[in-house]
Amino acid sequence: MANDISKRLNKWLNSEKVESKDKELLKSMTKEQLDDAFYKDVEFGTAGMRGVLGPGDNRLNDFTITKANYGFGLYLLKKYPNVKKQGVVISSDNRHQSRHFVLLCANILNDLGINAYIFDSLRPTPELSFAVRYLKACGGIMITASHNPKQYNGYKVYDEQGCQLVPEKIKDLVDIVNSLGDALDLKIDVSDKKGETITLNDDIDKAYLENVKSIQINPLLPKKGFKIVYSPQHGAASMLALRLFKELGYDFYPYLPQCSDDPDFSNTLSPNPEDPKAYTYLIKYAKEINADLILCNDPDGDRVGVGVKNKDGEYVLINGNQGACLLMEYIFSNYIQKNIMPKDPIMYTTVVSSSLGLKIAENYHVKVEQFLTGFKFIGEQIHHYEVLDNGPTFVFGYEESYGCLIKPFVRDKDGLQAILMYSEMALYYHQKGQDLLDIYDNLQRKYGYHIDVTLSKEFVGSKGNEEMLNLMKELHDNPIKSLNNVNVFKVEDYLKKISICHNEIKPINLPSSDLVKLYFEDGSIISTRPSGTEPKCKFYISTVKKTYDEAVEANKRLQENFFNYLKI
């Protein structure tokens, strides 16, 4: 491995294509940093490509972006006869080099004869998905690292439905990218007739926002006096969110220090809505103006975090599972009350989401289908039933990682739809003398107290990657039978695609994935999987008890026993 890293490094240092500043940066790096930059090629997988910016084979830079984008162009030319005319839509968030990568990708597609549609500035992921569908383009590209730290960027690709490519589609693309060889050696074949780069006008923004407005259930609620603090976390949703809430007349207070397109995220402690530090300044501002609700998008605008003022005037953060369950309760109950619940309704979620959502859906006679993590599976299933034209009707979709979709004019998580529905929901209950914490407590009383905790551990570099692979191999090969005298009665192994319950083996009809899910006899569940976008492993720990205190204590005990077992 050391020799291979040295060989890779020397190739970069001796290449005429690599700028001198990058060579100097490589020379200044530590052994550990070089190991992480060169121990593998940055992976183009089922979630696209995401990594730290900088020189190196395992980094995001002009060479690795060019290789991925050239491969995507070749894939589109092979798959879509009219792609040169129909084109590809490209957008980005606020990160370092995002705009540069947009123009680089557009130029590469133009060299292949393919038209590229770009925005005049950053736009959120859900609008990129919408624009692909609106323009009837053959695909889309989003330059973003979502909620990752500032040193990251990424490259995601979308099909003609505005949906990220599912495994059976992306396999052909990955094969093409992998066949291109070393990124430093890549040569692009230029078409005789180059494509054009077209800058989109305001029509896309207007059309997208009108569709977002259409999700409202109770649009005539009086809004004055119900204060909402909002942050885009320096990201791409800022302009559209401010415009949307102004047009709808909400008492909307953007936290201006976090509304600039700052790639260094200077005015936030974290751009990730899953991280409590992301709300530090927002809570302070909310207290100053006595706001009722805090909302924040992540940098690419597909996720939403929520803070609710309790009876003591303090702000309580609501996680992705809790927020989705509240939205389900609000949407489904109002659909039924207004007699607008469609025939044969269906909700989509993931296999690592809280079991509370399944219970709420069942209560409202909404069918549920569960998928692997990745909203592309939800988008693909929406399209599947549209093609059949006689399947169930989509009414909601969500992941535990703070992303949801209310109406499917977008085929990815939609943070703009989410902030609007959270605002309407909170206002609706506020006018009934309740807050979202009251409503969630009612759900817990009815269905049991659910504590769902997501934890993660980083595994950096070649050594860390090997440790993570060994950890997952052990879970696959030797499933845990019991913890603290509580037996496991069912194991779902998504890599082997089998479910073992009381020695009975059944197939799992989902794509293969490196995920192990353990079901305990007391109702607890532990799911473990490597992250698809960062060098870390994620652990989902779920407990259900009759009281809140019992559920919290059981979850804490389960975490301790599990991590002691894994010796991490």
Residue 344 CB contacts under 8 Å (≥ 6 apart), including other chains: 367, 391, 392, 393
Residue 535 CB contacts under 8 Å (≥ 6 apart), including other chains: 458, 459, 460, 461, 464, 465, 468
Neighbours of 171 (CB within 10 A): 12
Strand runs (DSSP E) across 205-335, as ranges?
Answer: 227-231, 251-254, 293-297, 304-309, 315-318
Q: How far apart are CA 483 and CA 557, in angstroms?
A: 10
Catalytic residue among 91, 92, 98, 146: 146
Task: Provide Rg for the chain, Cα atoms.
Answer: 24
Cα 250 to Cα 219, 223, 224, 235, 533, distances in angstroms: 11, 5, 7, 21, 36
Both structure tokens of 188: 């692009």
Q: How far apart are CA 151 and CA 97, in angstroms?
A: 11
Instruction: Verify whether residue 333 is a known catalytic residue.
Output: no
Please list the alpha-helical segments (H only) found in 112-236: 125-135, 167-179, 203-213
Using alpha carbons, select from 424, 438, 441, 232 the residue that is nearest to residue 327: 424
Using alpha carbons, select from 498, 478, 486 the residue that is nearest to residue 522: 486
Using alpha carbons, select from 202, 402, 183 the residue that is nearest to residue 304: 402
Strand runs (DSSP E) across 283-385, as ranges?
Answer: 293-297, 304-309, 315-318, 345-350, 367-371
Length of the chain (residues): 568
Please list the alpha-helical segments (H only) found in 89-124: 98-111
Instruction: Classify residue 94 by burial, with Cβ atoms within 10 Å: 0-12, 13-18, 19+.
Output: buried
Q: What does the DSSP 8-state code read for residue 168?
A: H
Q: How far apart are CA 417 and CA 405, in angstroms?
A: 7
Neighbours of 97 (CB within 10 A): 17
Q: Is the dihedral of CA 94, 95, 100, 106 positive or negative?
A: negative
Write the Ramachandran bin of 43: left for phi over 0, alpha for psi from -120 to 50, otherwise beta: beta
Cα 114 to Cα 48, 74, 84, 522, distances in angstroms: 20, 10, 4, 57
Q: Are 187 and 399 in contact (CB under 8 A)?
A: no
Residues designated as active site? 146
